Amino acid sequence: MLTKRIIPCLDVRNGRVVKGTKFTDIRDVEDPVVLAAFYAQAGADELVFYDITASNEQRDIFLDIVKKTADTIDIPFTIGGGIRSLDDFDRLMKAGADKVSINSAAVNDPQLIKEAALRYGSQCVVLSMDIKKNEKSRWDVYVKGGRENTGLDAVEWAKRGVALGAGEIVLNSIDTDGVKDGYALEITREISESVRVPVIASGGAGTMEHFYEVLTDGKADAALSASVFHFGEIEIRELKEYLKKKGVEVRL
């Protein structure tokens, strides 16, 4: 059995980690480098940073935070938000990021996935998908921080992204984001069964059981969360011990 990963997500705005509900009601949390160091010590397997307004504001990402984080922690971390070109990939990789996550730019220019995978390897290219259920009970892909519906079907886009070279998918349900009622299990399972790369579930964790459900019933390879970790509701090592006792292979 492959080891399942637990990944805290750090949404960054104006140099601070923040957290909202369904992409609104944003609250301040902590300095990103300080929080990254805390999670590295607390047993996180990886970290994901998202510059949550970079794409919408059409500006560059926070290279200074990337460099400081790379100097501070010894676990892999992914950077997303505001990446629009191979030059952006290059700057982030040179600054110390292990992986780069693209969402809006991938939709606007799918060939960017292929070009980045050819240059840096698929393992460095993460396709981030913000998704929301539509009136037909299917899931649409959103961009620009959940502000714009692309009309793309989530499953089909996931398949295409992997075919182009994405080595991992972060699947974030806007409907469940920050709500703490559990992950979107059905779509997570469907996409996990549809692609040959790891799928990271995001959006909805409120209890340890929610992590167990998405890593088993949802067939996710990793579970990403923010609120429950940021506000001390779940401690990562206790979560991993719980999962281990339930038969989920994790790194303690």
State the CATH number of the domain containing residue 193.
Answer: 3.20.20.70
pLDDT in tens, 158-204: 999 999 999 999 999 998 887 899 999 999 999 999 999 999 999 99
Smallest Cα–Cα separation from 126: which of 200, 235, 59, 183?
Answer: 200
At 230, list the tokens: 């940021």
Q: Which of 46-55, 57-66, 71-80 has the lowest mean pLDDT?
A: 57-66
Report whether pLDDT(212) > 90.
yes
Domain annotation covers residue 21 = yes
User: How many Å apart are CA 135 and CA 102, to the nearest integer?
Assistant: 27
User: How many Å apart are CA 234 and CA 217, to the nearest integer?
Assistant: 21
11/238: higher pLDDT: 238
Domain annotation covers residue 237 = yes
Tally of domains within the chain: 1
Torsions phi, psi for 127 (to 5 deg): -90, 110
| Residues involved in catalysis | 11, 130
pLDDT in tens, 21-61: 655 566 767 889 999 999 999 999 999 998 876 555 544 56
Domain annotation covers residue 62 = yes
Domain annotation covers residue 250 = no
Contacts of 182 (CB under 8 A, 6+ apart): 176, 204, 205, 206, 207, 210, 213, 214
Bridge partners of residue 235, in order along the sequence: none
- pTM of the shown model: 0.92
Note every long-range contact of 156-163, with CB atoms under 8 Å and residues 24 or more positions apart, other chains counting: 157/107, 157/129, 158/127, 158/129, 158/191, 158/194, 158/195, 159/194, 159/195, 160/110, 161/106, 161/110, 161/113, 161/127, 161/129, 162/127, 162/195, 162/196, 162/197
Domain annotation covers residue 252 = no
Quote the domain boundaries for residue 161: 5-245
pLDDT at position 144 is: 82
